[in-house]
Structure 1
Amino acid sequence: MRVIRGLEKARNVFSGPVVTIGNFDGVHLGHQVILSRLREDADHRGVAAVVLTFDPHPVAVLRPEAAPRLLMTLGDRLAALSRCGVDATVVQRFSKDFAAIEAEEFVSRYLVGVFGAQKLVVGHDLNFGRGRRGSVESLVEAGGRHGFAVEVIRPVVVEDIVVHSSVVRRTVASGDVALAARLLGRPHIVRGRVVHGSGRGRKLGFATANLRPKTPLVPAEGVYATRALVDGRTVDGVTSIGHTPTFGGKETVVEAHLFMEACDLYGKMMSIRFIERLRDQRKFDSPQALAEQIARDVERARAVLAASSA
């Protein structure tokens, strides 16, 4: 997939592409339906399937106090878009100046002037332009004037929940990673580098890999059945997120006990898929009591992961 940084750099690059617009945080099931239709229609027309996305997230610019912790880094979002068959993604830097562009100017300058789009495939809740005044309805009207088609994709509903990035973020933040996986179409992934920790896990008989997350949003404090990709291997395990209350810790840490022989993972990148929440964090009376609980966590995680293909 080609990545183009900035709309002006995309001028005259494409010939009548099919385009979609959005933040695509998480690339969840709703996004996947849009992207599948984008790919299908682009193939039918023999043109490129193009995504226009934004960085940073618009809320982080317009209302920084309400900026969401995102499900993905930009790099992970681009990788996910590529896996969905997108030919090119244009990443537009979002700023207050960009946000001030009127909806009609956005259409004429970019959708027509830069892309020369034949068709837009968009979600039902699309808003764009100054004050979010541009809507699906106004986009359809603009298409009639400028000569491009617009297809509006209906929302995806899972278990009576309308799938939306904000809903998935709340679900992950609450620790319900099993539901989050059903909304995403895959488990939520936290990626980061393995760093040195306190070494307490090893002393308890359960060595852990401590992760410094790059992924902005990690699940709520708790203990989870997880599946990690590290050093070219997929390894089951138990991951604890919390501040080590038994030892009086204050800093939140992500520690993965992997079901594999001990080896040196320091400095390596690791991706952790969160399959199911096992329990809350809690303070134990002694390290021995904690070790006994970890043994029970491991046993339960093995059963959960044996039944999961995620």
Structure 2
Amino acid sequence: MTGFAVIRDDTPTAAIPKGAVVAMGNFDGVHRGHRAVIGACLDMARTKKAPALAVTFEPHPRKFFSPDVPQFRLTDETAKLRLLAGTGLDGAVILSFDARRASTTAHDFIQHELIGRLGVQGIAIGYDFHFGKGRGGSPSMLVAEAPSLGIEVDVQPHVDFGDHPVSSSAIRKCLEEGHIAAATEMLGGPWFVTGEVIHGDKRGRDLGYPTANIRLDPQCSLKHGIYAVRVGRGGRHYDAVANFGRRPTFDNGAPLLEVFVFDFNEPLYGETLDVAFIAFIRDEEKFESIEALIRQMDDDSARARAALAADHGAFPKLGALR
């Protein structure tokens, strides 16, 4: 295989590598628990001299079962794939999660998808991952059926942070509360978003802080406030300070990510940037005067620079997709 392959439901059979070892999961965030499963997959694949693939689902099954419930995803499909590509895997199998797949029993899924279509030699899975109709497929089921299937199964235990297992839901809660350091620790690297720079009201120019404005997913529930961030652009990283919120001093409008890149004066409109969140500086607040706001922005910038200098250039390890 050359590069990181993305295999979908309509990928021709001849283009699918057979005999792979797979890491199976939803992988929202590709956090440290997920990386333990991926590590087990990579180890098994090396032993068997086989390709190593992730098997995952899009959209997230929660979106199918609860379409009207807002879902704050840590990573959309593209971000998830870029993170998976940075782990050393050879590729990912993206399975569309729809009514047909939701009604497929775990036994049929194993026989038709894993054995029949992919011809897997081994499966790595987390201790709490379930699949198939009614969540009938479990790690214990796979272990029990492995000998008759002729495959090896590795079940990874939970990875703990403090007194609790690392989980996507725990990371979401940290981001919602502004606990960036804890989220970073559980993820194994900074949480990041990707978006296109759009035109704003140009108010930042008048304040001496011209910003690159990015509209995040409406279901993103990151805490509103000021952050030290690092911006990825064209393979280079730039230190920055950002506000995510409604700009209560001015219009209290729709949430917007406004990024001021330090020591940078090139136009960014229309470009797609990665923004990694390094530290939470303070809550968003309303100021009684422009002068007071500017004084606070000066202080925010100084604190952001200090936080960024202390973290030694951390940025998510992202792979290229083909």
TM class by smaller structure: over 0.9
Instruction: Measure how far apart 1:10 and its partner are.
Output: 4.8
Instruction: Measure how far apart 1:159 and its partner are.
Output: 2.1
Change (3 A) 1:231 1:138: closer
Instruction: Measure how far apart 1:15 and its partner are.
Output: 3.4
Which one of the candidate residues 231, 236, 255 is aligned to 1:233? 236
Change (3 A) 1:45 1:232: closer
| Residue pair 1:171, 1:177 contacting (<8 A) in 2 also | yes
Residue 250 of structure 1: SS of its match in structure 2?
coil
| Alignment deviations for residues 226-284 of structure 1 (CA, whole Å, 9 cap, x no partner) | 11123553211110011110113221111011111322111111111111111001111
Q: Which residue of 2 aligns with 1:93?
A: 96
Distance in 1 between residues matched to 2:15 and 2:305, nearest whole Å: 54
- TM-score normalised by L of structure 1: 0.94
| Residue pair 1:246, 1:282 contacting (<8 A) in 2 also | yes
Runs of 4+ with >6 A deviation: none
Q: Which residue of 2 aligns with 1:255?
A: 258
Higher relative contact order (Cα pairs below 8 Å, separated by 6+ residues): 2
Distance in 2 between residues matched to 1:7 and 1:144, nearest whole Å: 30
Number of aligned pairs? Answer: 310
Q: Which residue of 1 aligns with 2:65?
A: 62
Change (3 A) 1:117 1:261: closer
When structure 1 is superposed on structure 2, of 283-292 and 229-238 the one drifting more is 229-238
Unaligned runs of 5+ in 1: none
- Which residue type is aligned with residue 88 of structure 2? G
Unaligned runs of 5+ in 2: 315-322
| Correspondences of 1:282-301 after superposition (within 5 Å) | 282-301=285-304
Which one of the candidate residues 207, 210, 226 is aligned to 1:204? 207
Which one of the candidate residues 173, 177, 182 is aligned to 2:176? 173
| Correspondences of 1:260-271 after superposition (within 5 Å) | 260-271=263-274
| Residue pair 1:189, 1:274 contacting (<8 A) in 2 also | yes
Instruction: Measure how far apart 1:93 and its partner are.
Output: 0.6
Instruction: Measure how far apart 1:116 and its partner are.
Output: 2.1
Instruction: Measure how far apart 1:218 and its partner are.
Output: 5.8
When structure 1 is superposed on structure 2, of 125-134 and 11-20 the one drifting more is 11-20
- Which residue type is aligned with residue 240 of structure 2? G
Change (3 A) 1:211 1:37: same
- Which residue type is aligned with residue 72 of structure 2? R
Which one of the candidate residues 275, 279, 286 is aligned to 2:278? 275
Distance in 1 between residues matched to 2:219 and 2:311, nearest whole Å: 25
Distance in 2 between residues matched to 1:145 and 1:232, nearest whole Å: 47
Instruction: Measure how far apart 1:219 and its partner are.
Output: 2.1
Residue 245 of structure 1: SS of its match in structure 2?
coil
Identity %: 36
Is 1:151 matched up with 2:154? yes
Distance in 2 between residues matched to 1:8 and 1:270, nearest whole Å: 29
- Which residue type is aligned with residue 78 of structure 2? G
| Residue pair 2:71, 2:219 contacting (<8 A) in 1 also | no
- TM-score normalised by L of structure 2: 0.91
Is 1:110 matched up with 2:110? no
